[in-house]
Amino acid sequence: MEYDCCKFVLKCHKCQVHGDLIRVPPHELNAMSSPWPFVAWGMYVIGPIESAASNGHRFILVAIDYFTKWVEAASYKSVTKKVVADFVRNNLICRFGVPESIITDNGANLNSHLMREICEQFKITH
């Protein structure tokens, strides 16, 4: 596996350009802030966790409020698009009201058409 990784890195243009931290172009950090509680949430998927729970769950879906740092989390066997949509509806919207924005990474399950539909329906920036 190490050989395959080294071989891949040698062929990857971005790895060659930015491989050394000295050559990485500087990026300005932006502080994430929110004007009041439960208006902006960040969502992440943790996993797969190798030692699965007794119920077989290997993933944790986490949402963090940027103002209060309140955490909503749930474990799942797999994180599908429907699971994410149901989590947003049941754990965020129904419990804390409709947020103005939800911030996610580029995970396919976090940027699905179901997620876009929920965001359009409730006028949430995503």
Q: What is the CATH number of the domain that holds 100?
A: 3.30.420.10
The answer to the question of residue 2 being in a domain is no
The answer to the question of residue 76 being in a domain is yes
Strands, sheet with 71-76, edge to edge from the N-terminal-most edge strand: 71-76, 59-65, 40-46, 101-103
Is the confidence at residue 13, as pLDDT, over 60? yes
Is the confidence at residue 79, as pLDDT, over 70? yes
Total domains in the chain come to 1
Q: What value does the mean pLDDT take over residues 71-95? A: 92
Residue carrying structure tokens 């876009």 = 116
Count other Cβ atoms within 10 Å, centred on residue 101: 14
Is the confidence at residue 66, as pLDDT, over 60? yes
The answer to the question of residue 113 being in a domain is yes
| Nearest-angstrom CA–CA distance, 94 and 97 | 6
Is the pLDDT higher at 92 or at 6?
A: 92
Positive or negative torsion for Cα 35, 37, 41, 47: positive
The answer to the question of residue 29 being in a domain is no
Model pLDDT, residue 28:
77
Model pLDDT, residue 24:
59
| Nearest-angstrom CA–CA distance, 74 and 101 | 20
Domain extent at residue 70: 40-122
Is the confidence at residue 23, as pLDDT, over 90? no
The answer to the question of residue 24 being in a domain is no
